[in-house]
A and B are shown apart, each in its own frame.
Chain A
Amino acid sequence: MLILNCPYCGCYKDETELSAGGEAHLKRFGPGASDAEFEGYLFGRVNPKGVHFERWRCASGCGKWFHAARCTATLEVFGTYKAQTLKPPQAIKDAISAKRPGWTWRDFS
């Protein structure tokens, strides 16, 4: 059972109390964007085996969306952070680097 800590209400939630929202930090493209940009936004996914950034919702708690950094190969959780950001905070990136030196994900490292 995956357990994540909601950065808003502070609760530790089992995965059954959360809803998974897929890949985080997608840049939204709308009208006026090229077909390639729109396709990338809708369907292009990193789907990595290793470090991953995801959106989760504290569904049975405070109801807010937050972000989690996780390893999809081991299910290890590196940390969670609030959603009002375009990139993972340095503390999260440091926590990942401590365990997965040299990691990269999209443009982050």
Chain B
Amino acid sequence: MKRNSVFAVAREAMRQHSGWGRTWGNPEAKKAYDVVIIGAGGHGLATAYYLGKNFGITNVAVIEKGWLGGGNTGRNTTIIRSNYLQDPSAALYEKARSLYETMSQDLNYNVMFSPRGVMMLAQTHHEVRGYQRTAHANSLQGVKTEFISPARVKELCPIINIDGPRYSVLGALWQARGGSARHDAVAWGYARACTDMGMHILQKTEVTGITQSGGNVTGVDTSRGHIACKKLGMVVAGHASVVANMAGFQLPIESVPLQALVSEPIKPCMDVVVMANTVHGYMSQSDKGEMVIGGGTDAYNAYTQRGSFHHLEETVRALIETFPMVSRLKMLRHWGGIVDVTGDRSPILSKTPLGNTFINCGWGTGGFKAIPGSGWGFAELMAKGESPLTDQFGLDRFRAGRFIDESVAAGVAH
């Protein structure tokens, strides 16, 4: 792959941009690979990337039923933060956040990481206490966050109404090094780097069955025929239960739709990410000027990638209260993704009942922020059988009752 640089931009500008090559390959599938990853979302691609980069394993295929990044990775609202409550979460999410800081240089691909700061509003006294506790936990974990006053909230984000009629703003948990990144570029950058290492990304190839022998997986049946592998990674988010079922085991996961919407583009008016968990809405402004808005999850299982209309209504209602100026905005697009939710709202990065098969799922409403850290740890787990980043996130925690409870810390959907 040609290196991207200021010189490349200048060179291409002189010749009508005729020299840019393909960003990733479109190879014919081989009969066998050392490692097969199911799912070319951010987590699957990052896993492949770190298998190559950190462990020299490059005979790898990433198999994707649609187009790469077309799942939740290309549908999320791109909030990146690491202000979780429990120690294992802080380690994993902070590893991811710190990898985001150097991702563009590492991949030689601009992922537009913007550490503009993430603010989680406290709008009840309960939330004030909760976020103060999180800020204390974070300082013990080495994650820099602070609890800030309403006046500071207003200073950082002037368009907020801090003394709304129902829930006035009582403070906020502020992570100055949180922010957002371009979601597609994260998938594309990894895909490009994986192609560079000789890996195969097989798009429009659906895994339909899993072949096994003696407690190990021997390969996968796909819409392009059987593909053999020595190790298998399942990284399919909302479809985790469906793929696990092909391999004969069940997961503690429910799949539900989560929605988002964007407005027409307007002039820059907000340079931080704001989450209002009590009224349930969150918003940031994209580089194009669109206000990016996240909604809530449906209360029942579905695989429809749309979701119920009343959630949009609730979200917009909450946002108008928090940001009165958005009441005249026109909304441009709206969509949904299928998120894989666990009981403790923490992900699963785990061995499985099958010896050479590993699963990475359960990121639910909030896994975009974790992509590089998850790929880093999961690649280590797949290569070595253990990883300090993932060891607490095994499937066995549900049997042992050793939960990593983030349902309170997350509070809102993402």
Across the interface, which residues of B come within 8 angstroms of A44, CB to CB?
Answer: 250-252
Which residues does chain A contribute within 8 Å of B242, judged by CB atoms? 47-49
Contact with B along A53-83 (1 / 0, CB 8 A): 0100000000000000000111100000000
Stretch at the interface among A12-20, A25-33, A91-99: A12-20
Q: Give CA–CA (A36, B399) in the complex, Å.
A: 7
Q: A19-B299, A20-B299, A45-B251 are in contact. Are A75 and B304 (CB under 8 A)?
A: yes
Contact between B253 and A20 (Cβ–Cβ < 8 Å)? no
Q: Provide the residues of chain A in CB contact with B25, threshold 8 Å.
A: none
Asked whether, in the complex, the Cβ of B252 is within 8 Å of the Cβ of A45, the reply is: yes
Known: A39-B399, A75-B304. A45 touches B299 (CB 8 A): no
Q: Which residues of chain A have C-beta atoms less than 8 A from B310's C-beta?
A: 1, 15-16
Chain B interface residues (CB < 8 Å from chain A): 239, 241-242, 245, 250-255, 299-304, 308-310, 343, 398-399
Interface size for A (C-beta < 8 A) is 25
Question: Is A39 a contact of B398 with CB atoms below 8 Å?
Answer: yes
Cα-based distance from A72 to B305 in the complex (angstroms): 11
Closest 7 CB pairs of A and B: A43-B252, A47-B241, A20-B299, A20-B300, A39-B399, A49-B303, A43-B398
Known: A45-B254, A72-B301. 18 other contacts (CB 8 A): A1-B308, A2-B308, A15-B308, A22-B254, A35-B399, A42-B343, A43-B343, A45-B251, A45-B252, A47-B241, A47-B254, A48-B241, A49-B303, A52-B301, A72-B255, A72-B303, A73-B304, A75-B302
Q: CB-nearest residue of chain A relative to B239?
A: A49
Q: Is A86 an interface residue (CB 8 A)?
A: no
Are B309 and A1 in contact, CB atoms less than 8 angstroms apart? yes
Residues on B with beta carbons closer than 8 Å to the beta carbon of A2: 300, 308
The reply to whether A47 and B300 form a contact with Cβ atoms under 8 Å apart is no
Q: A residues within 8 A CB of B245?
A: 48
Q: How far is the CA of A20 from the CA of B341 in the complex (A)?
A: 15
Residues in A with CB closer than 8 Å to B252 are 43-45
Please give me the residue from chain B that is nearest to A50 by CB atom.
Answer: B303
Interchain nearest-CB distance for B247 vs A (Å): 14
Bound together, the chains give a CA A43 to CA B251 distance in angstroms of 8
On A, residues with C-beta under 8 Å from B are 1-2, 15-16, 19-20, 22, 35-36, 39-40, 42-49, 52, 54, 72-75
| A19, closest chain B residue (CB) | B299
- Give Cα distance in the complex from A54 to B301, angstroms: 9
Residue among B250, B300, B303, B310 with the highest chain A CB neighbour number at 10 A: B300
Q: Which residue of A has the minimal Cβ distance to B241?
A: A47
Chain B nearest CB from A33 CB (Å) reads 12
Rounded to whole Å, the gap between the CB of A76 and the closest CB of chain B is 11
How many whole Å from B210's CB to the nearest CB in chain A? 16
Give complex CA distance A15, B114 in Å.
Answer: 39
- In the complex, are the beta carbons of A46 and B241 less than 8 A apart? yes
Question: Given A15-B308, A52-B301, A75-B304, A45–B398 Cβ distance below 8 Å?
Answer: no
Q: Which of A35, A42, A47 contacts B251 (CB 8 A)?
A: A47
Instruction: Indicate if the CB atoms of B241 and A45 lie closer than 8 Å.
Output: yes
Alpha-carbon separation in the docked complex, A44 to B398 (Å):
9
Closest to A35 in B: B399
How many whole Å from B139's CB to the nearest CB in chain A?
Answer: 33
The residue that B250 contacts in the complex, of A46, A54, A75, with Cβ under 8 A, is A46
User: Which residue of B has the minimal Cβ distance to A106?
Assistant: B250
Residue picked from A40, A42, A45, A47, most chain B C-beta under 10 Å: A47
Q: B255: which of A39, A47, A74, A75 is its contact (CB, 8 Å)?
A: A47
Partner of B253, one of A1, A35, A47: A47
B200 to chain A, nearest CB (A): 26
Chain B positions within 8 Å of A52 at CB level: 301
What's the minimum C-beta distance from B207 to chain A, rounded to whole angstroms? 13
A22 contacts which chain B residues (CB < 8 A)?
Answer: 254
A56 (CB) vs chain B CBs: closest residue: B300
How distant is the Cα of A19 from the Cα of B309 in the complex, in angstroms?
16
Contacts of A15 in B (CB 8 A): 299-300, 308, 310
The distance from the CB of A29 to the nearest CB of chain B, in whole angstroms, is: 13
